[in-house]
C-alpha cells in the first residue's frame, strides 16, 4: 500500500515528456511508437505498437498487474475520422516478489499493439500522437511516462515495417478461438478447479486471470502436464465467473482466452455452484450447539495468556472491593461485564459491515494492522504507568476514577475500561471450542454473527457476574490493606510484558527500525505522563501547571507528529521479506503456499501444517512446548514429515482461504496430512501437548 501510494503521488507530479526513463544515470525504460507499415493506406487498417525496452532486472506490468503494480496505459490522439481498437497484450510472466506478492509482468521488452482504421478519404501525412504511462519495478518502483509521435505518409499501398518485432510478439498473443483441448470447470469451496484434458506437446500449464469486476482471483500456480492432463486451482470468493488466459509451455508459449462456464457440454450443468442454504433452513440444534461452544470458548478465554495480564487487574480489584457493600461490588462487576459486551458486539458490527462491503474478514484481523498494534501498545503502556503511580487521571463529575486502575477509587468507569481492554487483548487467541463457533458465524447472516459474539461475551463475563453477585465468596481473598499499593505496582509488570509482545509483533511486521521508533514514541508519552502526575496536581502552582501543560503538549506533538510518522514512513519502506524456510526454532519449516502443499500431497509426502501468527501468544506457547521439542523433531525426521508453516502475522488471502476450507477464521490451527489422506487431514486441538502431536502424527500411542 505504501508503494502504491508513492506511485500515485509521483504519477500526479508527472515525469516529463521523455521517451527514455532515466534513474541515477541508468536508462530504465525506452519507449517508442512503431507501426507495421511504412505508409497509411486510406480505408485499410494498420497496427501501431508501444515498444517498451526495460533495463536488466526491471519489469513493467500486464493489464492485470496481480497483487501489486499498475498496468501500462496508451492514450492515442488520432486525426479526425480515424478510429482505434482496444490495446492488445502479449502473454505475461509470473513473478513472485518478497512477501509472497505475485505479479504478472514483462521483463526485457514487450510490445502492446492497437489497430487503427483510417477513413477512406484520409490524406497524408498522418501524425499519430500518444501518451504512454507505465510503472517499472525492481527493488523499488518508479513511474514513467512518454509523449510519443509517429508520422506516416499517405500512399496507395504500404510495405510491411518492423516485421520481426511484430512477428515475435504476435506469437505471444492469446487466441480467442476455442483451445485444442478440453476445459472442465468445477466449483470448489474456495473458488474453481480448472481441468485441462487432452493436452498434446506441452510440459506445463498455467492460468493468468483477468481482474474481476466484483472479486479478483487469488494466487494461481503453474502445473505439470501428466498424461495430457492438468488441474489448476483458482481461488476466488463466492465462485463468480472467471475469465483469463490458459498458457501451455514446451520451449515456446501459447495461450487461449477462456471463461468459466464454457467447457464441455457434460460439465455445463455443474459449473454454477448451488447457493448456500440460508440460516433458517439449517437445523436448530446446529445453531444451539454452536452457541454453547461459543459460550464455553468465551469462558476459557479468561485463561488464555493474551488476557491474563488484564484479568489479574480485575482480580486485584475484587480484592480491594472485598470490604465494600454488596451493591457496590455488583455495580463494578456489571460495569466490567458491560465493557466485555460492548467490545464483542462492536466487533460483530464491524465484521458485518465489512462483509456487507465485500471485504474478507477474520478473527483477530485487527492485529494484522501494525498501526492497531502501535496504538494498543500506547494504551497498555499508559495503563502500566498509572499502576506504578506515575500519574492519576480523574474523570469529571462523580466518576472520579483512574482509568488505569481496576479498583479505580470505587469508580465504575475504570471497571468498564478494563472490560474493554480485556476483550481487546483476547482477540489474538482462539480457545478450545471457539474456533468452530467463529468459523460457523463468519459464514452466516448478521443475526447469527451477533448471536455468536453475544454468547462469547456471556461466557467470558460469566465468572465475574458470579463473583459480583456472590461477594461472600470473596471472603476467602486477603483483606484490603497497605500491601495493596505494592500489589498494584506489581500488576504493572504483566502489562509491560504485554507491551514487549506488541513491540515484537510490530518488529515482525515492519522490521527492527519500527520497534525503535515505537519505543521512542512511548518514551515521549511516558515523559508527558510524568509531567502530568508531577505538576498538574491540586497543590501545584498556576505557573507550574502552565509549564507542565506546555511540556505535555510538546511531548505528545513530538511523539505523534515525528516519531509515529517515522515509524510508518521510514520503516514501512523496509518491510521485512517473507520468512525463510529454516527458522531458528530448530524445525526446517517450509513456507506455506497451496501450490507447494498440493505438490507435496501429490508426491505422497506427509505434511504437518501449522497456522500461526506472531501476535498469537497461544500459537507461540504451543510451538515452544509441544511442537519444537526434541521428540517431535525426531518424529518428523523419522517419518519423513514435511513441517509447513502458514504465517498469518500479516494479512495473507491465501492462508485466509485455506482456513476457510475448514470453517476457521483464526489461529492457532493445526492439520496433519497423512500419506493417502490428502482430502481428510487430522485436525489437532487449539491447545497442544507434545503427546497430542506425537499421537496425531502416528509416533505415539494411538
pLDDT reported for residue 262: 60
CB distance 118 to 81 below 8 Å: yes
Q: Which of 362, 408, 354 is nearest to 383 (CA)?
A: 408
CATH topology of domain 2-170: Immunoglobulin-like (2.60.40)
Percentage above 90 pLDDT, the chain: 24
pLDDT reported for residue 359: 52
Half-sphere exposure of 518 (CA within 13 A, CB side): 30
- Segment 292-296 shows an average pLDDT of 79
CB distance 392 to 514 below 8 Å: no
DSSP label at residue 175: B
Domain boundaries, the chain: 2-170, 182-268, 283-372+397-487, 590-696
- Report CA-CA distances (Å) from 535 to 155, 330, 521, 546: 89, 36, 21, 9
The CATH architecture one would assign to domain 182-268 is Sandwich (2.60)
Q: Helix, strand, or coil here: 516?
A: helix
- Bridge partner residues of 609 (DSSP): 644, 671
Does this chain's domain 2-170 share its CATH topology with 182-268? yes
- pLDDT over threshold 50, residue 584: no
The domain 590-696: what is its CATH number? 3.40.30.10
Q: Which residues contact 666 (CB under 8 A, 6 or more apart)?
A: 362, 363, 364, 430, 434, 435, 438, 659
Q: Which of 654, 652, 546 is nearest to 596 (CA)?
A: 654
Between 404 and 211, name the one with better pLDDT.
211
Q: Which of 399, 401, 403 is nearest to 383 (CA)?
A: 403
Between 455 and 557, name the one with better pLDDT.
455
Per residue in 80-128, pLDDT tens?
A: 899 999 999 999 999 987 666 788 999 999 999 999 999 998 888 899 9
* Rounded-to-integer distance, Cα 520 and Cα 514, Å: 10
Phi, psi of 260 (to 5 degrees): -60, 140
CB distance 234 to 209 below 8 Å: yes
* Rounded-to-integer distance, Cα 200 and Cα 506, Å: 51
Q: Which of 230, 206, 205 is nearest to 219 (CA)?
A: 206
pLDDT reported for residue 269: 31
Between 393 and 637, name the one with better pLDDT.
637
Residue appearing with cell numbers 480457545 = 431
Q: What is the largest CA-CA distance in the chain?
A: 106
Burial per residue of 323-335, b for 16 or more beta-carbon CB atoms within 10 angstroms, e otherwise: ebeeeebbbbbbb
Task: Look up the pTM and report it.
Answer: 0.41
- Bridge partner residues of 31 (DSSP): 52
Following CA atoms 462, 467, 470, 474 in sequence, which dihedral angle do they give, to the nearest 10 degrees? 160
Is the bond preceding residue 153 a cis peptide, omega within 30 degrees? no
Alpha carbon 528 to its chain centroid, in Å, reads 35
* HEC per residue, 251-288: CCEEEEEEECCCCCHHHHCCCCCCCCCCHHHCCHHHHH
CB distance 692 to 702 below 8 Å: no
Strands (E), 402-473: none
* Rounded-to-integer distance, Cα 124 and Cα 371, Å: 60
Question: Using CB atoms within 10 A of its CB, is residue 466 exposed (0-12), middle (13-18) or buried (19+)?
Answer: exposed
Is the bond preceding residue 295 a cis peptide, omega within 30 degrees? no
Rg of the chain taking only CA atoms, in angstroms: 31
Q: Which of 368, 366, 371 is nearest to 564 (CA)?
A: 371
Per residue in 427-476, pLDDT tens?
A: 545 444 554 555 555 556 678 778 888 888 888 888 777 777 765 655 55
| Segment of 27-31, 278-282, 547-551, 573-577 carrying the highest mean pLDDT | 27-31
Cell numbers for 371: 498501526
Between 338 and 48, name the one with better pLDDT.
48
Which has the minimum average pLDDT: 11-25, 79-93, 225-239, 249-263?
A: 11-25
Which has the minimum average pLDDT: 12-21, 34-43, 497-506?
A: 12-21
- Report CA-CA distances (Å) from 490 to 387, 390, 487, 494, 630: 8, 14, 5, 8, 36
CB distance 76 to 128 below 8 Å: yes
- Segment 247-263 shows an average pLDDT of 86
pLDDT grade, residue 649 (50/70/90)?
confident
Cell numbers for 102: 505475485
* Rounded-to-integer distance, Cα 626 and Cα 608, Å: 13
CB distance 355 to 361 below 8 Å: yes
- pLDDT over threshold 60, residue 13: no
pLDDT reported for residue 278: 37
- pLDDT over threshold 70, residue 562: no
Given its phi and psi angles, is residue 400 left (phi above 0), alpha (psi -120 to 50 degrees) or beta?
A: left
Q: Which residues contact 347 (CB under 8 A, 6 or more apart)?
A: 427, 453
Burial per residue of 119-142, b for 16 or more beta-carbon CB atoms within 10 angstroms, e otherwise: eeebebebebebebbbbbbeeebb
- Segment 359-375 shows an average pLDDT of 60
Alpha carbon 546 to its chain centroid, in Å, reads 46
Between 681 and 570, name the one with better pLDDT.
681
Per residue in 660-695, pLDDT tens?
A: 788 776 778 899 998 877 888 888 988 888 889 998
Q: How are beta strands 73-77 and 109-117 bridged, if at all?
A: unpaired
CB count, 10 Å around CB of 188?
14
Q: Which of 440, 444, 240, 423 is nearest to 346 (CA)?
A: 423
Amino acid at each position: 500500500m505504501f508503494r502504491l501510494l508513492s506511485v500515485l503521488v509521483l504519477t500526479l507530479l508527472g515525469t516529463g515528456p521523455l521517451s527514455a526513463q532515466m534513474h541515477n544515470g541508468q536508462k530504465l525504460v525506452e519507449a517508442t511508437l512503431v507501426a507495421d507499415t511504412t505508409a497509411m493506406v486510406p480505408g485499410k487498417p494498420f497496427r501501431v505498437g508501444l515498444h517498451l525496452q526495460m533495463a536488466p532486472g526491471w519489469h513493467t506490468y500486464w493489464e492485470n498487474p496481480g497483487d501489486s503494480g499498475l498496468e501500462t496505459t496508451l492514450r492515442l490522439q488520432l486525426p479526425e475520422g480515424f478510429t482505434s481498437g482496444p490495446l492488445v497484450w502479449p502473454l505475461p510472466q509470473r513473478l513472485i516478489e518478497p512477501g509472497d506478492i505475485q505479479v504478472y509482468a514483462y521483463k526485457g521488452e514487450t510490445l502492446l499493439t492497437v489497430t487503427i482504421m483510417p477513413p477512406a478519404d484520409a490524406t497524408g501525412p498522418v501524425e499519430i500522437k500518444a501518451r504512454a504511462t507505465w510503472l517499472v519495478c525492481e527493488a523499488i518502483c518508479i513511474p514513467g511516462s512518454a509523449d510519443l509521435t509517429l508520422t506516416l505518409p499517405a500512399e496507395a499501398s504500404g510495405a510491411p515495417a518492423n516485421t520481426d518485432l511484430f512477428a515475435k510478439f504476435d506469437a505471444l498473443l492469446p487466441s480467442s478461438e476455442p483451445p485444442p483441448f478440453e476445459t472442465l470447470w468445477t466449483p470448489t469451496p474456495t473458488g474453481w478447479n480448472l481441468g485441462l484434458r487432452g493436452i498434446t506437446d506441452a510440459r506445463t500449464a498455467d492460468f493468468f486471470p483477468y481482474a474481476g469486476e466484483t472479486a479478483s482471483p487469488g494466487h494461481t500456480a503453474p502445473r505439470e502436464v501428466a498424461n495430457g492432463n492438468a488441474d489448476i486451482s483458482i481461488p476466488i470468493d463466492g465462485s463468480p465467473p472467471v475469465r483469463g488466459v490458459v498458457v501451455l509451455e514446451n520451449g515456446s508459449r501459447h495461450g487461449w482466452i477462456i471463461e468459466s462456464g464454457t467447457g464441455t457440454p457434460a460439465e455445463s450443468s455443474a459449473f454454477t455452484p448451488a447457493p448456500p442454504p440460508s440460516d433458517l433452513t439449517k437445523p436448530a440444534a446446529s445453531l444451539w450447539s454452536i452457541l454453547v461452544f461459543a459460550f464455553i470458548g468465551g469462558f476459557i478465554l479468561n485463561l488464555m495468556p493474551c488476557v491474563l495480564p488484564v484479568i489479574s487487574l480485575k482480580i486485584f480489584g475484587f480484592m480491594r472491593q472485598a470490604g465494600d457493600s454488596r451493591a457496590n461490588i455488583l455495580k463494578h462487576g456489571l460495569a466490567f461485564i458491560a465493557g466485555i459486551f460492548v467490545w464483542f458486539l462492536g466487533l460483530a458490527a464491524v465484521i458485518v459491515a465489512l462483509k456487507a462491503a465485500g471485504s474478507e474478514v477474520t478473527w483477530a484481523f485487527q492485529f494484522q494492522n501494525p498501526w492497531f498494534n502501535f496504538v494498543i501498545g500506547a494504551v497498555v503502556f499508559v495503563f502500566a504507568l498509572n499502576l506504578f503511580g506515575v500519574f492519576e487521571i480523574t474523570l469529571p463529575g462523580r466518576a472520579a476514577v483512574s482509568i488505569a486502575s481496576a479498583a479505580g477509587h470505587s469508580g465504575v468507569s475504570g471497571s468498564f475500561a478494563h472490560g474493554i481492554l480485556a476483550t481487546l487483548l483476547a482477540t489474538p487467541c482462539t480457545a478450545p471450542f471457539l474456533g468452530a463457533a467463529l468459523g460457523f458465524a463468519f459464514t452466516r447472516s448478521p443475526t447469527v454473527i451477533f448471536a455468536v459474539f453475544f454468547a462469547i461475551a456471556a461466557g467470558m463475563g460469566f465468572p465475574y457476574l458470579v463473583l459480583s453477585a456472590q461477594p461472600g465468596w470473596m471472603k476467602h481473598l486477603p483483606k484490603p490493606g497497605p500491601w495493596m499499593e505494592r500489589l498494584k505496582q506489581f500488576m504493572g509488570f504483566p502489562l509491560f510484558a504485554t507491551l514487549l509482545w506488541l513491540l515484537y509483533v510490530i518488529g515482525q511486521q515492519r522490521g527492527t527500525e519500527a520497534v525503535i521508533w515505537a519505543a521512542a514514541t512511548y518514551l515521549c508519552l511516558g515523559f508527558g505522563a510524568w509531567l502530568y502526575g508531577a505538576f498538574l496536581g491540586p497543590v501545584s502552582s498556576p505557573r507550574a501547571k502552565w509549564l507542565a501543560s506546555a511540556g505535555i503538549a510538546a511531548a505528545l506533538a513530538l511523539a505523534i507528529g515525528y516519531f509515529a510518522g517515522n515509524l510508518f514512513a521510514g520503516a514501512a519502506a523496509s518491510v521485512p521479506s517473507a520468512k525463510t524456510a529454516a527458522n531458528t526454532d530448530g524445525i526446517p519449516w517450509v513456507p506455506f503456499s497451496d501450490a507447494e502443499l498440493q505438490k507435496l500431497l501429490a508426491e505422497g509426502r506427509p505434511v504437518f501444517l501449522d497456522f500461526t501468527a506472531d501476535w498469537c501468544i497461544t500459537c507461540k506457547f504451543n510451538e515452544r512446548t509441544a511442537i519444537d521439542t526434541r521428540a517431535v523433531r525426531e518424529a518428523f525426521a523419522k517419518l519423513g514429515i514435511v513441517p509447513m508453516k502458514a504465517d498469518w502475522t500479516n494479512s495473507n488471502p491465501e492462508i485466509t482461504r485455506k482456513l476457510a476450507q475448514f470453517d476457521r477464521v483464526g489461529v492457532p490451527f493445526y492439520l496433519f496430512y497423512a500419506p493417502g489422506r490428502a482430502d481428510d487431514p487430522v485436525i489437532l486441538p487449539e491447545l497442544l501437548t507434545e503427546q497430542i502431536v506425537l499421537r496425531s502424527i502416528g509416533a505415539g500411542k494411538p
